[in-house]
Structure formats: C-alpha cells, structure tokens
A and B are shown apart, each in its own frame.
Chain A
Amino acid sequence: MREINDYEIAIIGAGHAGCEAALACARLGFKTIVFTVSVEGIAFMPCNPHVGGSSKGHLVRELDALGGEMGKCIDKSFIQSKMLNSSKGPAVHSLRAQADKAKYSSLMRETLEAQENLAIKQAEVSEILVENGEIRGVKIFSGITYHTEAVIICTGVYLKARCLCGEAINHTGPNGMQASDHLSASLLKAGIELIRFKTGTPARIDADTIDFSKMEPQYGDEKVIPFSFSTDPKDVQREQLPCYLTYTNQKTHDIIRANLDRSPLFAGVIEGTGPRYCPSIEDKVVKFAEKERHQVFLEPQGLNTNEWYVDGMSSSMPEDVQIEMYRSVPGLEHAHIVRNAYAIEYDCIKGKSLKPTLEFKNISGLFSAGQFNGSSGYEEAAAQGLIAGINACMKLKGKEPVVIERSEGYIGVLIDDLVTKDSLEPYRMMTSRAEYRLLLRQDNADRRLMRKGYYAGLISEEQMKALEEKERLIDSEIERLSSVKVGAGKEIADILTSIGSTPLNTGATLEELVRRPELSYEKIAPLDKNRPELPDNIIEQINIEIKYKGYIEREKLAVEKARKMEKKLIPEDIDYNDVKGIRIEARQKFIEFRPVSLGQAARIQGVSPADISVLSVYINSK
C-alpha cells in the first residue's frame, strides 16, 4: 500500500476542535493534513445554533487572544448577539451570538482551504500508528498510510456513534453523517482506555408551521460587541433576528410520562453517561416533577433556512411521541418537524490519560482535543483544539509547551479539570468552576493571554504592540486619576450632586470618586476637564480596575498563594509506592492521575492536605 510522507502533523476530524488545531499547526509552519469523514461536515454545528453564552463566551474571547479562529468566524456570521448578565458584575458578562450555521461552516471551510500548509482530506482514519510509545502517523480506511510526527485526535462524537430516536437506532454520527467505526479498536490496542458518553439534540421545526405570535420575542443587543479583539466594532452592527420564548405545560409532561417506557433513556437502552446540564425534556420532567412548566427557546438556524432549533426540548423519544410532545407547546400546535430530536452515544477517553498539554501520557506526539476528551460544546472543543495544535507544534519545535494556568484563563480551568477530575459526564464550562473568575473576565482576555499567543507564534508583532499601547494607556490613566485631587468646595459639591452623588467632606482623588458605586469614569467627566480622549474598551478597563480593586486584590493574593504549589513539579518517574506515609486512597489516586505538580495533586478528589505535605517532603528529599 502507498505511504505518504508529505505531512508533519495529522488532525483526525474537522469539527470545531479539528479546525482550530489544523489552522494553528499550519500557521505555525507545519505541513498539516486534516481528515474528515465528510468535507461538508467541516465546522458543522450539529446541535445548538449559537456560539458563546455564560462562560463559553469567555472561552471564545480567550481563544481569540491566543490566535484562534472561532471569534473571527462568528463575528462574520452571527444573526443575533447579546451580552448576557450585563447588569451583573463584569466577571459574569458573557457574549452569546446566534450563528447562521451554514455561513459559519462555509466561512471556516474557506479559511481552512485558503490556509497555506494545510490540506483537507475526506477519509475515515482507521488506525493510529504507534512505535515504542511514539506516534508515527495514521492509516485511513482505504489502506493508505500517512507518516507524521504528531497526530491530534478530534473525533468529537463520531467514534462508534449510535443515534437513538425511540426504538429507531442508527449507527451514524450526528445528523445522519457517517460514523467512525474503526478507530476505536486501534486506540484500545495502543493502550488508550475508552468510555462511552451520551448527548442529545432537540428537533428542528419548519418556521412556516410555527405561530410566533404566541411566543415572546427575545432581541439581541442594540450595540453589539464583537467576539474577536481584531474585529472592528463597526463591522458587527447589523440587522438581527429575534429568538422566541415559550413554555411546556402539564399536557406536554403528561405525554412524556405516558410514554416513558418507550424512551431509550429510561428503558435502559442508552449505555452512555449523559450530561446533567443539558438533560433531555424527559429527564427534566422526571427529575423535576414538581415543575409545572419548562422554558423553551426557539432559535433561528440561519438566514437561508426555514429550520428553527427548539432549545429546551432535546429528546430521544420515538418520532410519534415527539410530534405529540412538541405540538402541545403554545405556538407549536401545527409544528412540522424537519429533523427529529435524537440522543447520540460515542466513544471518548478519560481526561486523566492526558497531560495538561493535551498530549497522551503514554504516547509521545499523540494529542487530542474536544468531545473526544470528554468535554461538550463547540467552544470547549475549539479551545482544546487550539491548545493541542499549539503544543504539538511546540513539541516539534523543541519549545516549552503552552499551559494556561487556572488563574490565567477559563481554558486553563477547562483543561485542568478535564485532566485532573474523574470523567463522570461530558464536561461543560461554567463560571462557577473558575475560582478566580473576577480576574478571568471576558473583557481582559487579551491582557491575560495574548502574550502566550505571541510566544506560540499565532499573534503578530503589531497585535502585541497594540496590546502594550492599550495597557500603557490604562495604567497611565489610572495613575493620573489617583494623583488628581478635587476639593470640598461648593462648585465641586454642586457638580457631585448634579451627577447623583453626595458632596465631599474633605478632598478626594478622582480615583476615589470613580470607586463610588453611583459614579463611574464617564460620570465624573464634569470634574475632570483635562482628561485625555480614550476609546470605550480602555474606559471599561479603568472602571473595572478601580471599582473592584479590593476584590481583585484578594483574588490576586489567593493566586499567589496557590502558585507556589503549582510551581512545585513532581518528577515524572516518581514511584508512589516508595512514598511512605500517604494514605492508600491518595496513593491510588496519584498512581491513577500522575499529577504534574503539587497543585494539581492537591486538586485530585480524595487527597488530603497531609498527603500533600508528605508528598512535598518526599519530593524535596530526592
């Protein structure tokens, strides 16, 4: 059989993880090939039609700061955009944009096609080639071998995929696409443990059969903020489509309850573990039996399609039950289902098989990203894809890998959680998982991560210069505010009263005034005649840094404290059986997870502070 030696890195899969990985590798100068079972499936959105949302919006901005593509692509293809939680603290502001699905996919495909060093190949990868614990390449179903120095697995939900819609079970990937049935055996042979996860998607309904007048419209923001730091805000002010809100009712729930025996989920047909955060409607009705109604969100799938996505009602019920169930919802009485809801099961790995670089612990040069790693969501996948891509390149270049710390980004939290925690269900990002979330804001993702992107080589000199200039302006303006004082005179008092604040008893700096809850940098303008002209994004940083200073300082202190532990590395060849004095449970966990640092070791569940003390003494005595 033919052997091909033209490529240095192979990517298996061209979903959101695969696209980012492929682009990163090619952009960093490596000859890259990306395999997909269907070229039509590149950057496909098989489930919800939006990008971002609480905490996921953070991921996209971080990805952008590191040199990823998702933010740029959604900025060009969204049809509605909204900053969630805008009335809350800055840490939980999060962007969410409804995508024109077809446009998003085609834009991403064009980007891949236009990328130098990058080849697309429609083929099912059936084997990975491993020799002496090192990756050598892949073999595709036709029998041709591609020899590469690194391989990144981004197979999403395609491995041994099985779709369930009541009694109807198809061995396909999402949306009827070809599943990838052959690779699993090769992975097992290479010593990679596989588990089975499950997820699901709701029906798509023909807009002509939806009565939107019975639902509440939900509009996007009047002033849209782009995802990408490189997108000009002027370019994202466009006409938007509304979404619509409606609710299930007792009738819906009765239909579901009456047919539970036909649900693969409750009949025990489904083997995979599903995520608790996006339960099917039958799950919700059973688990939250006391709730009289559940929210249903109708979302457009694009400008050139009539299909609408029914958020809140994913299901694996048989088709006839689905028709009845959806039609019981106000506004959907005459709904025509274009595509049925279904559940999908797939093979994936336990995150503990990976290092924080997303390289396999037991196979050098083999990386993986996305749902295959046990996560869920487009954004989580894309973020991992980028990191896996970067680190494959760093490895081939002999450079230090890029690992984002938990205190530096949601991407760090995501990957650390994946590789440190037990994989019990598909992992979704949430802001509550980030212990330093006030530092990890979507507004400062560039300040947190762009330097790492620059180190990796995905951020240009110009972008770095712009960042440095931005930071200089922020710092010097805060400095100025803290040095300019205003007095307690009548003139000042009148101005303060007029802008809704209270007069001063003694003098105060402008910084102190900005800190007052009722005031802001913008509001004190009448008191500050000599201020420079500054763009909105810089004023935003100034306001946040001044107003939340106390909280931010506290988090920074906590980070400092934790960092000491993160920096204490555990030798890779440590023999835990030689460490006397740790409890058996902790010893087993250490052997299972092989943490890289004391910090990571301490986060493993079932490990006590005393175990960590003993371990640190042991390491220091070596």
Chain B
Amino acid sequence: MKTDTIAAIATAIGPSGIGIIRISGSDAFSLISKIFKNGKNENVDLAKYDSHTLHYGYIYDKDTVIDEVLVSIMKAPKSYTTEDTVEINTHGGSFVIKRVLDTVIKTGVRPAEPGEFSKRAFLNGRMDLSEAQAVMDLISSRNEFARKNSLKNLKGSIKNKIFELREKLLHECAFIEAALDDPEHYSLDGYPDELKGKIGEVRREIQSLINGFNNGRILNEGIKCSIVGRPNVGKSSIFNFIAGEERAIVTDIPGTTRDVIETSVYYKGLSLIFTDTAGIRDTSDTVEKIGVQRSVRSLEEADLIMLVFDNSDELTDEDIEMIKVVESKEKNVIGILNKSDLSAVLTEETIKERTDIDVISVSAKEGKGFDELFEKIYGIFFKGDLTYNDEVLITNARQAGLLADAHKSLELVLNSIELGMSEDFFTRDIMDAYKALGEIVGCDIGDDLADKIFSDFCMGK
C-alpha cells in the first residue's frame, strides 16, 4: 500500500554532536535521492543501495551544499515503521539540522504529525498490542504539547495576520459560490481580473510571513552573520579567529577564498553562524566566480552583514561599491575596520562620511576588539529568553510548510485565472490555502464557507 512520506528530526535539538532526520514512506528513497549526492558528488539512486547500509555524501539544496552527512537506508519491512526509511545523520546544532529538514520537506515530504512514526509502526504491526496504549498516550500528549507550543510560538501579530488573510480568502470564495448558487442575482463578469489582484496580494503577504518565520527562527536556530568585503581586507582572518581554527585558507593573494565557509559560535546562549565569503569583485577565474556568486547569495540569506574594511589602506572604489551593495540589502550591518594592529590609513571617521553603518575596530591578527563586536551583535538580536525545544522547532517546520502550501495553492488559483478557467475552478484551491492557514492557527474548516456565504451575501427566495 502506498503511504505518503513523512519526516521529522529524530534527535533532541540543541548543541549536540550529530542530529538525525528520519524519513519514512513509499517515496522516501526517490525523494531523498533528489537532494543527496555521494562522496564523489554524484547523483545516486538510494533505492539501489542494500538495506541497512550507511553512505557518506552531501545534502544539496539545488546547487548549494547544506551539510556533509551519513545516510542510512532501511528497506521495508525491516525498519521502525516497516516502511522504506532513510535516516540522515547531520552535523549537530539546531540550525544545520533544521536546514536539512527544510530541504527534505521541499522535495515534497510532509512534516510528520506528533507521534506519527510510532503510529505507523503500530498500524503496520511493528509493535505488539500491549504497546498500543503507550502509542496513543504518546500521540495525545505530544499533540497537546505541540499545540500549546505552536500557539505560544505564534505571536499575536502573526496570528492576527493569518486570521486576516483567511478572512479575505473566504470572502472571495463566498462571493464566487454565492454567484454560482444564484447566478441570476450575482454576476461574475470581470471578476477574475479583480480576483487576480486580490489573490496576488494575499500571496505576497504569505510570502512575507514565510520570510518572517525565517527571521523568527533566529532565536532558535542562530543568527547568520555574513562576513563580506572587497578582496584581501582580512575576512578570512576574522573568520578564522572566530572559528578558532584555520578553516579558511588565508593568503595575501586576493581571491583566495573560493567558497562560503560556515562556523557557529555560542555567545551568551545565542547561536551565531558566521560565513566567510569570497571577496565580491569582478573576476575572470571560473572557480572564483562561483565563489563570488555564493557570496552574493550568502548576503541574501544573512541576518547580519559584517562589512570588513582594511585599516591599513585607503578607502577604495571597491569599498564604496560594497557599501552600496550592503546598504541596498536593508539588513543589519556592522562595519569592521580590520588590521588595527597596523598603522591607520583609513579611519572610522572616513567611513562615517560615506555611510551610517556603525564601525568597530578589530585586529584579527592580535584578536583585539572581538568582545566589543560580540556584545554589539548580541545587543542587536537579543530579545527575551532563549529556549531550545524540539517541539517548538517541529511545529515551526509544520507552520512554515503550511504557509508554503497555502502559497502554492494560491499559485494554482493564479494559473487557473491565467488559463481562463471559469470561476468555479478557483474555489477549491482558494479553500486549500484557507485550510492550510487554518491549520497553523488550529482551526478546522467546518461550515465556514457556507456560513460566510450566508453572512456576506443575501441569498434565496
């Protein structure tokens, strides 16, 4: 029997050596094969591996490596759930695990309901009857816990926003349905064009909520700090000092760092994830070019941009270009005047003439100025208590997944409008979006549509 494929983090979240993501269901092998490459960076079909074998490789999100992993293969019926199962062993730390889980979910795997693996294990006869009650208890307690956390986790403003968006969608559906029910009374002439605008707007708002979830993750999953600057201002030296080890290659030759390298550091309970990037500049070297593109992407994903200047050199046109690029991102930015151990050519004042960015002087070579830097970052982001809790993360994944579902359903509506389909085709996808949003705030649909038709439109004889 075909089952849908589900995924969840199987290990406790928080600072840890490794994390495991479990994926179970009929399409587990084929879907994970889409994002897994072996140690030689080749695409492989996981289904072809023997059961109960372990494989080294990488998880990719499109062409970006998310993590270096070990993947274990368990074929039905010899797995916990008795279904085809993949377990991805990732590096530890909630951020990495979460990114891998997100990537898994993007392939079409559904985030598991609380207790769903155990439920499947039971329903597939994996456990004996005496364990049934334990499974039921598990599902109900985890569900209750997840529900509480998910509600708590939703800030009032987000919740209100979701209710508002649902209301808009429902109203449009009710209008369509009222007109279909009573076509001699309500006309749909010209309505698709109007609807297109309205759906587009709701869709944009959902997109910004999805973006917002990414921001909200900062507290749980770490702040992404991207170290950028023109070539050879000492980005890798700063990165290496923070990482405490030589992970990035440091030379005097501009353009040495050809990829994005990450390290995470805990500071007063905050997880800071630093990425070292290739210097952003025009380059003809193909490999370096890829590195530069990745740097640009790293900027897009960053929560904080650290723009590095060289204390021992004049402010160059490239520096000024960087300031413009960074400012255009409208993100948190800290300027870092590196090489304070050398005699000053460039001063904070000179930079301040060009931009409002706060500047901190450091010396990566001597390790000076970093306490001040961390304190500054902490000040920008610290808001309230920081807690790590796997259930909160799981519900977050669900919520973000549901938002993505709603977004996708509305895209189908827009497609139907584009294709010139008649209005009755829109309702289904709008209601799917409505339902997905409802699940986030814990509402089922029930008779909402019928209620709305009657409350907003005057029907009948």
Q: Which residues of A contact B143 (CB under 8 A)?
A: 608, 610, 613
Contact present for B136 and A581 (CB under 8 Å): yes
CB of B185 within 8 A of chain A? yes
CB of B63 within 8 A of chain A? no
One of A2-10, A151-159, A276-284, A319-327 contacting the partner: A276-284
CB of A455 within 8 A of chain B? no
Q: Which residues of B contact A620 (CB under 8 A)?
A: 122-123, 132
Contact present for A88 and B423 (CB under 8 Å): yes
Question: How close is B238's CB to chain A, nearest CB, in angstroms?
Answer: 49
Give the A interface residue count (CB, 8 A).
57
Please, what's the 1-or-0 string for A518-561, where 1 marks a CB less than 8 Å from any CB in chain B?
00000000000000000000000000000000010001000000
Contact present for A618 and B113 (CB under 8 Å): no
A80 to B116, alpha carbons, bound, how many Å? 56
Contact present for B453 and A432 (CB under 8 Å): yes
Contact present for B180 and A431 (CB under 8 Å): yes
- Out of A287, A433, A579, which one reaches B450, CB within 8 Å? A433
Q: Which residues of A contact B450 (CB under 8 A)?
A: 430, 432-433
Q: A617-B122, A621-B132 are in contact. Are A605 and B180 (CB under 8 A)?
A: no
One of B36-44, B355-363, B441-449 contacting the partner: B441-449
CB of A583 within 8 A of chain B? yes
Q: Which residues of B contact A433 (CB under 8 A)?
A: 450
CB of A409 within 8 A of chain B? no
Question: How close is A377's CB to chain B, nearest CB, in angstroms?
Answer: 11
- Out of B113, B129, B141, B180, which one reaches A85, CB within 8 Å? B180
CB of A209 within 8 A of chain B? no
Please, what's the 1-or-0 string for B439-461, where 1 marks a CB less than 8 Å from any CB in chain A?
00000101101100111001111
Question: How close is B408's CB to chain A, nearest CB, in angstroms?
Answer: 13
Question: How close is B268's CB to chain A, nearest CB, in angstroms?
Answer: 37
Contact present for B461 and A312 (CB under 8 Å): yes
- Out of B136, B183, B461, which one reaches A614, CB within 8 Å? B136
A87 to B184, alpha carbons, bound, how many Å? 13
A398 to B182, alpha carbons, bound, how many Å? 43
CB of A570 within 8 A of chain B? no
Contact present for A279 and B460 (CB under 8 Å): yes
Q: Which residues of B contact A88 (CB under 8 A)?
A: 180, 183, 188, 422-424
Contact present for B177 and A614 (CB under 8 Å): no
CB of A517 within 8 A of chain B? yes
Please, what's the 1-or-0 string for A44-64, where 1 marks a CB less than 8 Å from any CB in chain B?
000110000011000000000
A311 to B460, alpha carbons, bound, how many Å? 8
Contact present for B454 and A276 (CB under 8 Å): yes
CB of B30 within 8 A of chain A? no
Question: How close is B452's CB to chain A, nearest CB, in angstroms?
Answer: 10
Closest to B425 in A: A89
Give the B interface residue count (CB, 8 A).
48
Give the most central of A87, A277, A610: most B CB within 10 Å. A610
Contact present for A621 and B459 (CB under 8 Å): no
- Out of A314, A437, A438, A583, which one reaches B140, CB within 8 Å? A583
Residues of A188-204 contacting chain B, CB below 8 A: 202
Q: Which residues of B contact A618 (CB under 8 A)?
A: 132, 136
A92 to B425, alpha carbons, bound, how many Å? 10
Residues of B397-430 contacting chain A, CB below 8 A: 419-425, 427-428
CB of A35 within 8 A of chain B? no
CB of B115 within 8 A of chain A? yes
Q: A580-B133, A614-B136 are in contact. Are A605 and B446 (CB under 8 A)?
A: yes
Q: Which residues of B contact A284 (CB under 8 A)?
A: 458
Residues of A311-352 contacting chain B, CB below 8 A: 311-314
CB of B47 within 8 A of chain A? no
A311 to B449, alpha carbons, bound, how many Å? 24
Residues of A167-219 contacting chain B, CB below 8 A: 202, 218
Contact present for A277 and B139 (CB under 8 Å): no
What 5 pairs between A and B have smallest CB-CB spacing?
Answer: A621-B132, A610-B143, A278-B460, A581-B140, A276-B454
Instruction: Pick 27 A–B contacts, CB within 8 A, sort by A.
Output: A48-B461, A54-B180, A55-B181, A85-B183, A88-B183, A89-B425, A91-B424, A277-B460, A295-B184, A311-B461, A314-B461, A421-B447, A430-B453, A431-B177, A431-B424, A432-B180, A432-B450, A433-B450, A438-B425, A438-B428, A517-B420, A581-B140, A610-B144, A613-B139, A614-B140, A616-B119, A621-B132
Task: Give 16 A-B pairs besides A291-B458, A432-B450 with Cβ atoms closer than 8 angstroms.
Answer: A85-B424, A88-B422, A89-B425, A92-B180, A275-B460, A287-B458, A295-B185, A314-B461, A431-B177, A438-B425, A517-B419, A580-B137, A581-B136, A610-B113, A610-B114, A617-B135
